[in-house]
A and B are shown apart, each in its own frame.
Chain A
Amino acid sequence: MTEIRKISKNIYEIPKEGIMKVPAKIFASESILENIKKDKSLEQIKNVACLPGIINYAIALPDAHQGYGFPIGGVAAFDVDKGIISPGGVGYDINCSVRLLKTNLTKKDVLEKQKEVVDALYRKIPSGVGRGSKYNISRSELNKLLESGAKYFVDKGLGEKEDYLHMEEEGCLKDARADRVSDRAIKRGIGQLGTLGAGNHFLEVQFVDEIFDEKVAKVLGIKKGQVTIMIHCGSRGLGHQVASDYIKLMEDEYGFANLPDRELINAPIKSKLGKDYYAAMCAAANFAFANKQLITHWIREELKYIFPKIKIDVVYDICHNIAKFEEHVIDGKSREVCIHRKGATRAFGPGRKEIPEDYRKIGQPVLIPGSMGTASYLLIGTKKAEELTFGSTVHGAGRISSRSKALKELRGEEIKAELKERGIEVQAGSIKSLAEEAPEAYKDIDDVVEVVHDLGISKKVARMKPMAVVKG
């Protein structure tokens, strides 16, 4: 039985034991912790605490649930010299991420044309298999895209400079190397540009239903009743293959006999393999940024037919599954560390140079999508997050019941009808996927957001409610 000590309100610790190099900290309310205890999340975060070069403590956030290798909602920082980088600490869907767009439309504008909007977006933006990419790209151009991210499409006229300026890392991880991405990964991704993918990925038209912080909302250009659009997707087959490829290479090089979970395979940050994985991971992350840029362009194009005077701007774009090198204060001294965020979001406070200039005084925007049909949140990063969680916060509601259980209990058609009754139009590639992503399969987003707000690792700015959902 794992010993869990309460440190203070919403903070728990699993003391160092056995081969753990550091303790693990769980940031959760009492009731959320009870949910987290039900699956293998705690075992998995203890495994993370055993990895070489881990600094201070392994972190499980309130949205934590069982993953593979690292839990989802897991954060860990590693020493750049003695530490490791792990594909299982990033996830297969590299840079699975969220982009928030703001429009000059009001809730009423969309309500009048709700069905038209959802149908147009569903037609234009392919979600999954058999509805592959509508954008043809050559190998050499894809290589350029992998090294330039969102900027690739902006340079082609599919977007504005302000778009990528308002993204984490300005929509491009600079250390990307296309030649570190295998031929197999390229072949899986080349036909998937501009596709949403299935599973928990979605495109949602929302309206701002509540503002919690007027001052910050004003800086971000967000007001009550305004229509926003949220895109949630990742690096598609390309990213999944990059992860698989490097897991194999690392196993061949280092073996896995001593690992409690084969998905915890890793390489020293300073090793050739560690560097190669990082360069390939950055390339996959850039695919995801570019992917969302193309989707953004298509949304602009498509909605212009319905709303000729529409203007759409990027509020922000954040990574969920990523490893990055960042400056953090460790034992009173600022130094570079390698942060793994798996199903977690960066949440830097005011002043950091990584934050877009026009937002720098308020902090970094944090986007937390709810499950299908529930509210999503816009929050702002804090100094407290930098102190407590290496500048990290939650990425979503976090799952509670299993997908197969969700399938048995909730039928897709019923969910669609129920959402319609609540004023939400849905178009999905598969009715089954509706059941799998039903709100009942997730923790309550409001509870999760309350905990991070209470902890101060990000602060509530606005809440958005869905009006139209497009799903894979």
Chain B
Amino acid sequence: MKRYKFLEHTADVKFQAFGKTIEDAFKNSAFALKETICDETEIKEKKKKTITIKQKDLESLLYGFLEEILYLLDAENFIISSITKIKIDKKFNLKATILGDKASDYEFTNPVKAVTYNDMFVRTEKEPDRRNPNKKVEFWRTQVVLDV
């Protein structure tokens, strides 16, 4: 399964991310954001951050999760590299452990101003199983527009 893809948008950056679980879809959304922030710059895993977020629905949880990545960049000079743990429960609690590095050690300019709710969704869809086309498997799809 593709991790994420960027879509056409007049002024901003729009992407969709995918995952077999909601956790994977959130993770891949974070990687799409990371690519928008620093392109393909390889980031080392020298520092660790723990994120905990409580929200009211899946969309606001995704919004909060991505916003936290922007916050860490601006406020704590931290740029994400990978996500080692992520757990989302039915009450819209998210807990994640993120690895990354000191942003000022790299050469990139983050064009992302904010995560927006515009056209945002987090949902499950079904697609034919590759091994057994008569069977359908469920996967998660998110969609996000970033203000750049």
Contact = CB atoms under 8 A, between A and B. Distances in A.
A437 to B, nearest CB: 9
Contacts of A67: 11-12, 118
B74 A192 contact: yes
Nearest to B39: A432
Contacts of A261: 117-119
A93 interface: yes
B110 interface: yes
Contact of A436 (B75, B111, B115, B147): B111
A188 interface: yes
Nearest to A39: B10
Contacts of B11: 65-67, 72, 399, 402-403
Interface in B99-121: 103-111, 113-120
B10 A66 contact: yes
B86 interface: no
A91 B109 contact: no
B10 A65 contact: yes
Contacts of A38: 10
B55 to A, nearest CB: 9
Interface string A48-83: 000000000000000001111100100000000000
Nearest to A132: B104
A243 B8 CA distance: 25
Contacts of A247: 117
Chain B interface size, under 10 / 10 to 19 / 20 to 34 / 35 or more: 35 or more
A177 interface: no
Contacts of A169: none
B9 A403 contact: yes
Contacts of A262: 59, 117-118, 120
B67 A244 contact: yes
A402 B110 contact: no
Interface stretch (A99-107, A123-131, A270-278, A290-298): A123-131
B113 A93 contact: yes
A15 B13 CA distance: 31
Interface residues of A, number: 54
Contacts of A39: 10
A92 B112 CA distance: 11
Contact of A128 (B39, B105, B109, B148): B109
Contact of B8 (A93, A127, A184, A402): A402
Interface string A192-204: 1000011100000
B77 A132 contact: yes
Contact of B109 (A192, A198, A400): A198
Given A39-B10, A252-B56, A399-B11, A430 B39 contact: yes
A21 to B, nearest CB: 22
A139 B119 CA distance: 36
A5 interface: no
Contacts of A192: 74
A143 interface: no
A404 B9 contact: yes
A399 B113 CA distance: 17
B69 interface: no
A197 to B, nearest CB: 8
A68 B145 contact: yes
A263 interface: yes
Interface of B: 6-13, 37-39, 56, 59-60, 67, 70-71, 73-75, 77, 79, 103-111, 113-120, 145, 147-148
19 contacts: A39-B10, A67-B11, A67-B12, A68-B118, A92-B114, A128-B109, A129-B73, A188-B71, A240-B114, A244-B115, A248-B60, A261-B119, A402-B8, A402-B11, A403-B148, A404-B9, A405-B8, A429-B109, A430-B39
Given A68-B119, A403-B13, 12 more contacts: A92-B147, A93-B147, A129-B106, A129-B110, A130-B109, A191-B74, A198-B110, A251-B60, A262-B117, A402-B10, A404-B8, A436-B148
| 4 tightest Cβ-Cβ pairs between the two chains A and B | A128-B109, A68-B118, A262-B117, A429-B109
